[in-house]
């Protein structure tokens, strides 16, 4: 099914374009990009997942020309049809946009169905020819290589991070038509040699996460195995993570609202029987609209580690954010995630981790035995919520993420009426 990218701010015009496309090309899939909301297209995006682009940016000044040149200068970018807001057709204008790479111009004031149909048919054919030429080029296979692993349908842009268990790449997915994070794990273990089916449980857990449609849970686009390596394709966050935001200085009045979003995400995850197990600021991402999103669930790190503390004493997780029971290798449940989230919230409010020591085991000891440092007076109204999240014994904590949400709402209500 053909897919087009519609770049246009005006809702009434987007609706008009969809109406004409539903008649002329009823099988087409339309993906909308609003410049005022979404900004310019990321420079790494070459439109690999689209057959053509409709560009409806107003022609005031050189805005439309700059948009057009920016897109058509990208290698193998799809054909662009420019929808002009000019009131009258003009040969000079059409020649100008053709010189900048536009396939053709259609006028908003009077859309001619026959002309639009011809442009669509031409665009689709040109796109096919362009993709065929690319696939036969010497660099085609290399474009889909992630290290030694070949993953068709995902164009590798650059590595982002590497650990003992996986390598994370920035990629462009042809399937979803946008930039994605693609995480490639170590070689798939031999099922006969694997203990406790950790890898199978990891795959099952991510399949469950992929089925969660929640605004504060990362979108998982694909999960598979290629060249004996498991990989996950997921949402990309150009706005960065909470760790960076805390370092830069957090908007403290907004911290409670951010915590609420994280709790709602935890509630969604816990409701399907999944624990996060590795909550820390680096696993809390931000979308460009400010939405908070949880990523990187714990079993992804358990492919080789089947317990929180290994036989050699190696600790799974991040000691600064570990619950006492996780740090000591005991069974964990939803309340362990709540504890980790409480540590993150303390750091959001103060800019400091509550428990610091020279060694990981010393940090774990403090989680179990050292009282929580008092909050500064300006944020002391959150003390009750933190006490309910950070009790040493799980039985003394909030029992669910939804209970934390209720406590947050109570603080906000009290502050609003004070």
Q: What is the CATH number of the domain that holds 212?
A: 3.30.200.20
Q: Which of 278, 306, 331, 337 is catalytic?
A: 278
Which among 104, 135, 166 is the end of a domain? Answer: 135
If asked whether residues 162 and 278 sit together in one domain, one would say no
User: 284-318 burial string, b = 16+ CB within 10 Å, else e?
Assistant: bbbeeeeebbbbbbbbbbbbebeebbeeeeebbbb
Residues 114 and 146 in one domain: no
Same domain, 149 and 272: no
Supply φ then ψ for residue 137, to 5 degrees.
-80, 155
Answer yes or no: do 273 and 399 share one domain: yes
The verdict on whether 278 is a catalytic residue reads yes
Quick one: 258 and 225 in the same domain?
Answer: no
Q: How many domains does the chain have?
A: 3
Compute CA 191 distance to the chain's CA centroid, rounded to the nearest angstrom. Answer: 31
> By three-state DSSP, how is residue 173 classified?
strand
Instruction: Please report which residue ranges of 272-333 form alpha helices under DSSP H.
Output: 324-327
The sign of the CA dihedral 256, 260, 262, 266 is: positive
Same domain, 169 and 86: no
Same-domain check for residues 365 and 259: yes
Q: What CATH number did the domain enclosing 29 receive? A: 3.40.50.2300
Same-domain status, 261 and 319 = yes
Four-point Cα dihedral 8, 13, 16, 17, nearest 10: -20
Same domain, 127 and 144: no
What is the residue range of 409's domain?
Answer: 242-417
Q: What is the residue-level pLDDT of the chain in tens, covering all 418 positions?
A: 789 999 999 998 899 899 999 998 888 899 999 988 888 899 999 999 999 999 987 655 567 778 888 999 998 899 999 888 776 667 777 888 888 899 998 888 888 899 999 999 999 999 999 988 888 888 888 999 999 999 999 999 999 988 777 899 999 999 999 999 999 987 666 655 555 555 676 677 778 888 899 999 999 999 888 988 889 999 999 999 999 999 999 989 999 999 999 999 999 999 988 889 889 999 999 998 899 999 987 554 443 334 333 444 444 457 999 999 999 989 999 999 999 999 999 999 999 999 999 999 999 999 999 999 999 999 999 999 999 999 999 999 999 999 999 999 999 999 999 7
C-alpha to C-alpha distance for 10 and 281, rounded to whole angstroms? 37
Domain end among 135, 166, 187: 135
Same domain as 246, residue 194: no
Question: Do 235 and 251 contact (CB within 8 A), yes or no?
Answer: no
Under a CB-based contact definition with an 8 Å cutoff, are residues 156 and 171 in contact?
Answer: yes
């Amino acid at each position: 099914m053909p897919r087009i990218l519609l770049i246009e701010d005006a809702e009434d015009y987007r609706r008009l374009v969809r109406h004409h496309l539903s008649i002329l090309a009823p099988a087409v899939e339309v993906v909308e990009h609003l410049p005022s909301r979404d900004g310019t297209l990321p420079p790494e995006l070459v439109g690999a997942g689209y057959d053509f682009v409709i560009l409806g940016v107003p022609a005031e000044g050189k805005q439309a020309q700059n948009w057009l040149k920016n897109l058509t200068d990208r290698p193998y970018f799809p054909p662009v049809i420019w929808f002009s807001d000019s009131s009258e057709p003009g040969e000079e204008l059409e020649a100008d946009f053709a010189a900048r790479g536009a396939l053709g111009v259609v006028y908003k004031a009077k859309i001619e169905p026959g002309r639009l149909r011809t442009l669509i048919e031409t665009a689709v054919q040109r796109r096919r020819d362009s993709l065929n030429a690319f696939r036969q080029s010497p660099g085609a296979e290399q474009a889909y290589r992630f290290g030694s692993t070949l993953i068709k349908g995902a164009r590798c842009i650059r590595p982002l991070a590497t650990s003992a268990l996986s390598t994370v790449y920035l990629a462009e997915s042809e399937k979803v038509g946008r930039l994605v994070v693609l995480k490639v794990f170590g070689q798939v273990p031999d099922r006969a040699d694997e203990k406790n089916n950790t890898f199978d449980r990891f795959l099952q857990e991510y399949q469950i996460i992929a089925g969660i449609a929640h605004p504060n849970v990362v979108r998982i686009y694909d999960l598979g195995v290629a060249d004996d390596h498991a990989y996950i394709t997921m949402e990309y966050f150009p706005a960065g993570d909470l760790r960076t935001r805390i370092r830069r200085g957090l908007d403290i009045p907004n911290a409670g609202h951010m915590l609420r979003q994280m709790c709602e995400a935890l509630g969604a995850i816990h409701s399907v029987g999944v624990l996060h197990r590795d909550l820390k600021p680096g696993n809390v991402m931000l979308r460009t609209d400010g939405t908070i999103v949880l990523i990187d669930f714990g079993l992804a790190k358990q492919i080789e580690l089947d317990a929180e503390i290994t036989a050699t004493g190696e600790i799974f997780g991040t000691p600064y954010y570990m619950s006492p029971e996780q740090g000591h290798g005991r069974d964990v449940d939803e309340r362990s995630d709540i504890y980790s989230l409480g540590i993150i919230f303390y750091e959001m409010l103060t800019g400091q981790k509550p428990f610091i020591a020279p060694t990981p085991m010393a940090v774990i000891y403090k989680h179990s035995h050292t009282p929580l440092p008092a909050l500064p007076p300006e944020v002391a109204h959150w003390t009750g919520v933190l006490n309910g999240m950070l009790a040493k014994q799980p039985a003394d904590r909030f029992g669910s993420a939804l209970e934390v949400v209720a406590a947050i709402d109570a603080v906000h209500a009290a502050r609003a009426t004070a």
